[in-house]
Structure 1
Amino acid sequence: MPLTFTLDPAVTPGLRDGFLDLWTDVSNAGGAVGFVPPVTREDIRPEVVRYLAQLAEGRTRLLAGHDEEGRLAATAFLTLNTHRLMTHWLWLYTVMVHPRHQGQGYGRDLLAAAADAARTIDGIEAIRLTCRGGLGLERFYASCGYKEVGRVPGAIRVAPGDDRDDITLLLPLA
């Protein structure tokens, strides 16, 4: 059964806790979303608070995907670029699908919904995102229409002696 996507859902305690659980579960399953396993909810909580503050300030918009049971199963954060010469594109951050839902096409659905959401924002012509090298994520994003436009070798230190490339990808919306 497909996920139901909502742009700018009400930030309730249930959504907040669902986001915290999702980010923890994705991180502990090896997802490249800013942490290295093992992590606890308390490790993730400060980042959740930071993201929720950005939502409240209007700088960032949340795309939330819920499963048939109403649980938060996927997220993507669309962040407007504040540089006056770059307001024609936005950043896509913290793209996650819960491990129990991976392999069902929900990642593609999430990226398509994010592109649709970006198209509703006046003046947005493209989406940029970054991903961690070494996991094949750039191939997944390429299969969804993103093009690699930059790479910084060894920019992400996962562990001592384990440096990964920071890869920038772009999706034109025209």
Structure 2
Amino acid sequence: MPLTLTLDPAVDPALRDGILDLWADVTNAGGAVGFVPPVTRETIRPELVRHFVTLAEGRARLLVGHDEEGRVAATAFLTFNTHPLMTHWLWLYTVMVHPRHQGRGYGRDLMAAAADAARGFDGIEAIRLSCRGGLGLERFYASCGYKEVGRVPGAIRVAPDDDRDDVIMLLPLT
């Protein structure tokens, strides 16, 4: 049951709703994608709108994976740097795979497709992402070729007295 990955799909209500559902389901299952559970689609909607604005402005590209039933099962936003000294690398944001698909290799497929897409963008030499420490995400990204290049202790507060490291990972593409 393969994941069908599409770079720059048409953003329509079905895609929007699919991403909202995915983001809420991932967060409510304990995923580290910018929120802490419990969340609703309405909690997430303003952040998704901000992501869509970056797409519309040409500052980001969207990679979406659909499962065998056509449902949105995975996403990653590839966001270009606007700083003139950092345009040779991009950010990877909101990397998600639906919990029902965990363990099927969809995460690796998504990460490989993101790297392949980035290699096709003029002047891009690396992908940078950050992840919440304490969940083992660094191991997953390392298994996809990323190297930890920085860590900010306690930078992410998920609850009172529950601070997590912000872990910075880099994948050279050249």
The TM-score, its normalising length taken from structure 2, stands at 0.99
Partner of residue 54, structure 1: 54
Computed over aligned residues only, the root mean square deviation of the Cα atoms, in angstroms, reads 0.5
Range moving further from structure 2, 151-160 or 44-53: 44-53
Partner of residue 75, structure 1: 75
Work out the CA distance in 1 between the residues paired with 2:89 and 2:35.
26
Work out the CA distance in 2 between the residues paired with 1:50 and 1:87.
21
Gaps of 5+ in 2: none
Partner of residue 103, structure 1: 103
Residue 143 in structure 1 maps to residue 143 in structure 2: yes
Q: State the shift of 1:70 in Å.
A: 0.8
Partner of residue 37, structure 1: 37
Partner of residue 172, structure 1: 172
1:111 aligned partner, one-letter code: M
1:170 aligned partner, one-letter code: L
Q: State the shift of 1:162 in Å.
A: 0.2
Partner of residue 8, structure 1: 8
Work out the CA distance in 1 between the residues paired with 2:85 and 2:78.
18
Work out the CA distance in 1 between the residues paired with 2:54 and 2:144.
27
Work out the CA distance in 2 between the residues paired with 1:40 and 1:91.
26
Work out the CA distance in 2 between the residues paired with 1:22 and 1:128.
23
Work out the CA distance in 1 between the residues paired with 2:42 and 2:85.
38
Partner of residue 90, structure 2: 90
Gaps of 5+ in 1: none
Question: What does the per-residue CA deviation read over 1:101-154, in whole Å, with 9 as the maximum and x for residues that have no partner?
Answer: 011110000000000000010000000000000000001100110000000000
Q: State the shift of 1:53 in Å.
A: 1.1
The TM-score, its normalising length taken from structure 1, stands at 0.99
Question: What does the per-residue CA deviation read over 1:3-57, in whole Å, with 9 as the maximum and x for residues that have no partner?
Answer: 0111000001100000110000000000000000011111111111111111111
Work out the CA distance in 1 between the residues paired with 2:45 and 2:67.
23
Aligned length: 174
Where 1:76 maps in the other structure, the secondary structure is: strand
Q: Percent same amino acid at aligned positions?
A: 84
